[in-house]
Amino acid sequence: MDFSFNEIQMMLQDSVEKFIANDYDFDTRQQYAASDLGYSAEVWQLFAELGWTAVPFSEGDGGFDGGPVEMMVMMQQFGRGLIVEPYLANIVLAGGVLRRVANERQKTKWLRPLIGGELQSALAFVEPQARYELNNVETTATADGSGWILNGSKGVVLNGGNAGLLIIPARTSGASTDRQGITLFAVGGMANGVTRRPYATVDGHQAAEISLRDVHVDAGAVLGEVDSGLAILEAAIDDAILAVCAEAVGIMQIITDKTVEYSKNRQQFGVPIGSFQALQHRMVDMLTACEQSYSLLLWASLAAADNSDESSKAVSSLKYQIGTAGQKVGQEAVQIHGAMGVTWDLDIAHYFKRLTTIAHMFGSADWHLDRLARL
């Protein structure tokens, strides 16, 4: 048993940490988030040059062969830096599908430019009626000669507005909630019949509503096997849960530190507010929540790395923990900062908002607790 990072993991952590310290302070982050693109194209290019966009991909695909632990190390730092660049959408979600099922031709066309930082992509895994059920897919793909015609709507597609590649789960057979009959399609963002309504999300990221009307794709657009896309989708979403939970742990740790620091400096009644026992105990609870969350993050990341039977249990446990403890830590950080905590100009507010959106992505705390109860 060994919980220490290896040399590569240490290097990865150091390099992301240094980048944030030198080039990605909170004001810079806010400027990128407020820009037309919603993130910095230069920073994205830098991520590619530094090899960060290659981390989870195999060496054969031009990747770095990193696993869940390497991703965890990076995402935790991304959380601390409150990074708005679309790493989750591109590398974890779309990349998660491509690296599992793309054939050589598809890898050349989509995966290599993705790793190279030249292609923006999105995985449209939410449908407006589906809430958190990945198998609830009403978008249809009907065979048309050797190709397919897609029709339907996708909601809150992360990075959907900027994406040159949209991965669309569509129903090729079965009823709207059947597990069988879902096929994944690679669709060009500018394809005929694709309408996108992009917007910012409350956490400073980007998403879009997407409608597909008679979108024609050829047979080469099918990613993996026809009718068997759900398992791939679920695997990519499990990756994403690990990634956002690592990000959330990074956030929880930094806002706990910042709150403790603030409580030592903020004077009221002639003393630092951190001297009040009522607040001390609550900050102890915040720290405990951080430690418990990090422990589950390690369990889930290691279980995924080992392809353990416990992996989905660990993922749901972690997401439940982050959905509850993460919200609590975020609320307490805001509360202890007082009115400062609810101002736009202070980073605490934005960390809290990101923790909130993470809590409501990929299944809420209750949704995952239900899943655990059924296991």
Partner 1 sequence: MHVTFSEDELAFREEVRAFFRDQMPAGLMEKQAENIPLDRDDHVQFQKALFRKGWAAVNWPVEYGGTGWNIVQKHIFDVEMANADVPNIIPFGLGMVGPVIYTFGSEAQKKRFLPDILESNVWWCQGYSEPGAGSDLAALKARAERQGDHYIVNGTKTWTTLGQYADWIFCLVRTNSDVARRQEGISFLLVDMQSPGITVTPIITIEGDHEINEIHFENVAVPAENLIGEEGKGWTYGKVLLQHERTGNAGVARTNYRLTRLRAQAAKSIRGSAPLLGDHNFMRKLAAIEVELKALEFTELRTLAAVASGKAPGPESSILKLKGTELQQATDALYVEAAAYYSLPYVPDQYVAGFPDQDRIGEGGETLTSLRYFNFRKASIYAGSNEIQKNIIAKHVLGL
| Position 202 contacts partner 1 (CB under 8 A) | yes
If one asks whether residue 190 binds partner 1 (CB under 8 A), the answer comes out as no
Site stretch for partner 1 (CB under 8 A), options 15-23, 139-147, 184-192, 275-283: 275-283
Residue 192 CA, chain-centre distance (Å), reads 28
Concatenated DSSP letters of 119-145: --EEE----TTTTT-TT----EEEEET
Query: Does the footprint of partner 1 cover residue 27 (CB under 8 A)?
Result: no
Tokens 């959408």 belong to 89
* Range in contact with partner 1 (rule: CB under 8 A) among 46-54, 139-147, 272-280, 305-313: 272-280
**Residues touching partner 1, count (CB under 8 A):** 46
| Residue 316: exposure state from Cβ atoms within 10 A (0-12, 13-18, ≥19) | buried
Give 87 or 148: the residue with its C-beta nearer to partner 1.
87
Minimum distance, C-beta of residue 343 to partner 1, in the bound complex (Å): 6
DSSP assignment letter at 210: E
Separation of alpha carbons 313 and 205, rounded Å: 29
**Residue 37 contacts partner 1 per CB under 8 A:** no
Question: Distance (Å, rounded) from C-alpha 160 to C-alpha 199?
Answer: 9
Distance CA 289, CA 324 (A): 10
Residue 182: name the closest of 110, 243, 133, 129 by CA.
133
Residue 162 DSSP SS3: coil
353 binds partner 1 (CB under 8 A): yes
Identify which of residues 246 and 361 has a Cβ nearer to partner 1 in the complex.
361
Are 77 and 97 a contacting pair, CB within 8 Å?
A: no
Annotate each residue in 108-127 with x if it binds partner 1 (CB under 8 A) or - if it does not, as one string: ------------------x-
Q: Of 146-165, which residues contact partner 1 (CB under 8 A)?
A: 155-156
Q: Please provide residue 307's backbone torsions phi and psi, each rounded to the nearest 5 degrees.
A: 55, 40
The answer to whether residue 35 forms part of the interface with partner 1 (CB under 8 A) is no
Question: Smallest gap, in angstroms, from Cβ of residue 227 to partner 1?
Answer: 23
User: Nearer to partner 1 by C-beta: 175 or 278?
Assistant: 278
Residues between 210 and 239 with contacts to partner 1, criterion CB under 8 A = none
DSSP state of 31: H
Question: Which span sits near partner 1 by CB under 8 A: 13-21, 101-109, 166-174, 364-372?
Answer: 364-372
CB of 117 or CB of 323, closer to partner 1: 323
For residue 290, the one-letter residue type is: C
Q: Encoding tokens for residue 356?
A: 């909130």
Cβ at position 179, least distance to partner 1 in Å: 17
Residue spans of beta strands (DSSP E) within 237-331 = 267-268, 271-272
What type of residue is 96? G
Closest approach, Cβ 306 to partner 1, in A, equals 31
Q: Minimum distance between the CB of residue 9 and partner 1, rounded to whole angstroms? A: 31
Residue numbers at the binding site for partner 1 (CB under 8 A): 126, 128-132, 138, 155-156, 197, 199-203, 207, 209, 267-269, 273, 276, 278-279, 327, 331, 334-335, 338-339, 341-345, 349, 352-353, 356-357, 360-361, 364, 366, 369-370
